[in-house]
Structure 1
Amino acid sequence: MKETSHATQTPTPEKKRSKFSVAMGAAFMMAMAAVGPGFLTQTASFTGQMGANFGFAILLCIVADIVVQLNIWRIIIVSGKRAQVLANEVVPGLGYVLTALIFLGGFFFNIGNIGGAGLGLNVLFGIDPKYGALIAAAAAITVFVVKNAMTVVDHTVQVLAVIKILILIYILSVTTVPVATAIQHTFMPTQINFYSIVTIVGGTVGGYISFSGGHRLLEGGVKGKENIKYVNEGALTGIGVASVIRVMLFLAGLAVVVAGHTLDPTNPAASIFKIAAGNFGYKFFGLLLLAAGMTSTLGSTFTSISFLNYSQTLDSWVNKFRSVLIIGFILASTIVFYFVGNPAKVLIVVGAINGMILPIALAILLVAAVKKRIMGDYHHPKWLIITGWIVVIFMTYAAVQTLMTIKL
């Protein structure tokens, strides 16, 4: 147990920052990790297929997001331990399995993130997507290796979040949004597609995204049950930001679909912007895609590397070589994209696996939440435990069904 107690220690370079500031950094880290190139494509694609009925899937996604994030953030912060350490305390060795799943999932998704940023630069400036990916990778590495890197990361994702929202506000302003239809079908759908629910829940809080905010808070020195209010503020803010962006993109896509247009299945998100605002809108999409790729790259890199910390000794080693690990992680995913291109089939398989990671990870933390030897005298709210297990059961069933439909 001695090593475990060491594992609760976290880096302390951010002591001068207020806990609220760290919580907001964690909120935007989680939200912007979720709002990546895959997020844009999924939302646009399902809107094109389902129309206003996709609003119901978004509603369920938001409810699931609240349950998942409040559970995971709270358990991590109250215990003062990263998810992989908690998993090892539940079942010895389980943390290493969780690390492998998160790290590999984050790596393969980072290929899509870097590729998305490169495609964004292609739309904006006509740069070859492969060279665009190299530029994006260099920018991401620069953000991580500068002095006070995590503060710079926080500010970067917040600025990019504002850019995303402003772009979507503009697109909504030049379209006729069928608000009444959207509201009606959100609460009274005429079609329910469980695959769409699994996909967007997994894409919003699946894999590494589930832990990005909690680990970011821990990295900023926020831990213990006395800091639960910062968990609530950070988690709910992050969910709110990601949800607002998804709803805005859904409404923009719905406006285009209701007007009688068909979205291009090869790039549904781009076609929303091009149909709504012509070439000018298409350029805006390029900026949005660049921002989405960059924020998700930062989020997946930070969270994946954070899963290498297990003990005081290993923490020291990881912190000493953090820059090397970050550069290696980003460069490796960039090289794969450069030589392979967009490995769509690989990303689909990894996406299904990431959907499976969510119920596994949440189940592990829910078990940890009720063990006194791990959580001390803290009592996890019953409503979070009950709703958490409901999400675990539903996502397990849905993820298995999804895996059975994948054709390699």
Structure 2
Amino acid sequence: MAERQAEASPAAGTKKALLGAMFLMATSAIGPGFITQTASFTAQLGAAFAFAIVVSILLDVAIQTNVWRVLGLSGLRAQELGERVAPGLGVVLAVCVVAGGIAFNIGNVGGAGLGLNTLTGLNVKVAALVSAAIAVAIFLVRRAGVAMDRIVVVLGALMIILTTYVAFASDPPVGDALKQAVVPDTVDFLIITTLVGGTVGGYITYAGAHRLIDSGVTGRENLQAITRGSLTGIGVTAVMRVVLFLAILGVVSAGVSLSEANPAGSAFESAAGEVGLRLFGVVLWAAGITSVIGVSYTCVSFVTSFSRGLEQRRNYLVAGFILLSIVLFLILGKAPTTVLILAGAINGLILPVGVGVILWAAWRRSHDLLGGYVYPKVLLGFGALAWVLTIWLAWKSLAGIQDLWS
């Protein structure tokens, strides 16, 4: 609660708070896991992967606009809202999100280490330690929230610019990608669920909205800003997804076989030579460290509301979460591609639970939880369709997850 009050600011600060929340959502969705998934799945499906990208973006719009609006209007974090809907539900949601977040964060610190290794030649484990130390330092400064907002904005913009350059260099078949986005040759439900889980599910669903709440941008008086922020954040995320896919598609379409150990890195190198490889190092490091920041901040926001003492020590808990992630990474040695893909798939299974809570609150509890706000039926219907689709995708992918695990 302390940070909410400290960072709450009227008109002038609202724009900065929105910008930070938007980019926290976007950079949380574009982490090392997503980069690995995009490279692997593009190599597997080619231009047909465009369909999965489009589905993930449409689901992102339906889910995030509802999540931002409901949480923003109520001023409650997702687990707090869950407890209001059904006692114990918030705890279950928090446990699921934090468990998935830990799995992802092992990959995030590893990805940051690999990015710094690619850029400087530093040992991967040492580079991961350095990256984790930088992330911890951000949360130990006096105005941690402001520092976090500025860093994710700068690094998020840098990722988009550099990846766009590589996309132009790889000369992808844009026409084929547009066609396959609507009428794909192949549809893989596990791949779609994994992509959705890795870019919309788990902690990612709530990163931006929780940041907005902590910044004090809540209530009906901020509804227009909340709506604009959610749509802009989705747009930023969509741009990065598309340009990354196109950058890799251009290489795959040219007949280049990507390295199994580092598929995305080999794609960047094939597209732009040594410069491309170094740019990949920057992109991967930026994706890794911003995702470390995003997952750690968001996961801790799911537990601090259960105790005033935890809330007062939030920044130390975030630092501890990051340290736990780097320790697990060092013990395990790496976060294999299979683990990252599996974590994304599991997040896709968790997604219907959290979204269901949000939609239930908007439909049945708007009078007491949203201050009597009359929720738009069109937006609620759009969200309900997305919710049903997430359930169907999760069901279809269960067999695929069992095969992947075995």
TM-score (ref. length: structure 2): 0.94
Q: State the one-letter code of the partner of 1:280.
A: V
C-alpha spacing 1:271/1:358, structure 2 compared with 1 (3 Å): same
Counterpart of 2:275 (choices 280, 289, 302) is 280
1:8, distance to aligned residue in structure 2 (A): 12
Q: Write the distance in 2 (CA, Å) between the matches of 1:350 and 1:187.
A: 27
1:281, distance to aligned residue in structure 2 (A): 1.1
CA contact (8 A) 1:35 1:204 kept: yes
Structure 1 match to 2:5: 11
Instruction: Give the alignment's Cα RMSD to 1 decimal.
Output: 1.8
Matched, 1:366 2:359: yes
1:246, distance to aligned residue in structure 2 (A): 1.0
Q: State the one-letter code of the partner of 2:350.
A: I
Identity %: 43
Matched, 1:70 2:65: yes
- Runs (4 or more) in structure 1 with deviation over 6 Å come to none
1:298, distance to aligned residue in structure 2 (A): 0.6
Q: State the one-letter code of the partner of 2:295.
A: S
1:49, distance to aligned residue in structure 2 (A): 1.3
Counterpart of 1:388 (choices 379, 383, 386) is 383
Matched, 1:353 2:346: yes
Aligned length: 399
Structure 2 match to 1:3: none
CA contact (8 A) 1:8 1:81 kept: no
Counterpart of 1:248 (choices 243, 258, 261) is 243
Q: Write the distance in 2 (CA, Å) between the matches of 1:214 and 1:53.
A: 32
1:401, distance to aligned residue in structure 2 (A): 3.0
Matches within 5 A, 1:153-302: 153-302=148-297
Q: Write the distance in 1 (CA, Å) between the matches of 2:199 and 2:224.
A: 22
CA contact (8 A) 1:113 1:293 kept: yes
**Which region of structure 1 is more displaced relative to structure 2, 275-284 or 11-20?**
11-20
Q: State the one-letter code of the partner of 1:21.
A: K
Q: Write the distance in 1 (CA, Å) between the matches of 2:321 and 2:158.
A: 26
CA contact (8 A) 2:68 2:230 kept: yes
Matched, 1:44 2:7: no
1:346, distance to aligned residue in structure 2 (A): 4.5
Structure 2 match to 1:377: 372
CA contact (8 A) 2:115 2:284 kept: yes
Matched, 1:27 2:22: yes
Matched, 1:324 2:316: yes
Q: Write the distance in 2 (CA, Å) between the matches of 1:352 and 1:53.
A: 19
Q: State the one-letter code of the partner of 1:357.
A: I
Q: Write the distance in 1 (CA, Å) between the matches of 2:335 and 2:266.
A: 21
1:191, distance to aligned residue in structure 2 (A): 2.1
Q: Write the distance in 2 (CA, Å) between the matches of 1:91 and 1:35.
A: 32
Deviations 1:338-393 (A, max 9, x none): 11122435544433321112110000111111212222311221122222222222
Q: Write the distance in 2 (CA, Å) between the matches of 1:366 and 1:66.
A: 14
1:212, distance to aligned residue in structure 2 (A): 0.5
Q: State the one-letter code of the partner of 1:48.
A: A
Q: Write the distance in 1 (CA, Å) between the matches of 2:50 and 2:152.
A: 26
Q: State the one-letter code of the partner of 1:167.
A: L
Q: Write the distance in 1 (CA, Å) between the matches of 2:138 and 2:371.
A: 38
**Which region of structure 1 is more displaced relative to structure 2, 137-146 or 174-183?**
174-183
Is there any run of 5+ residues in structure 2 with no aligned partner, and where?
none
Structure 1 match to 2:333: 341
Structure 2 match to 1:4: none
Q: State the one-letter code of the partner of 1:81.
A: L
Q: State the one-letter code of the partner of 1:181.
A: D
Counterpart of 1:85 (choices 80, 100, 112) is 80
Q: Write the distance in 2 (CA, Å) between the matches of 1:57 and 1:323.
A: 36
Matched, 1:108 2:103: yes
Q: State the one-letter code of the partner of 1:15.
A: S
Is there any run of 5+ residues in structure 1 with no aligned partner, and where?
1-6
Q: Write the distance in 2 (CA, Å) between the matches of 1:261 and 1:9.
A: 50
Deviations 1:8-66 (A, max 9, x none): 99433342652122111100000001110011111111111111111121111111100
Structure 1 match to 2:48: 53
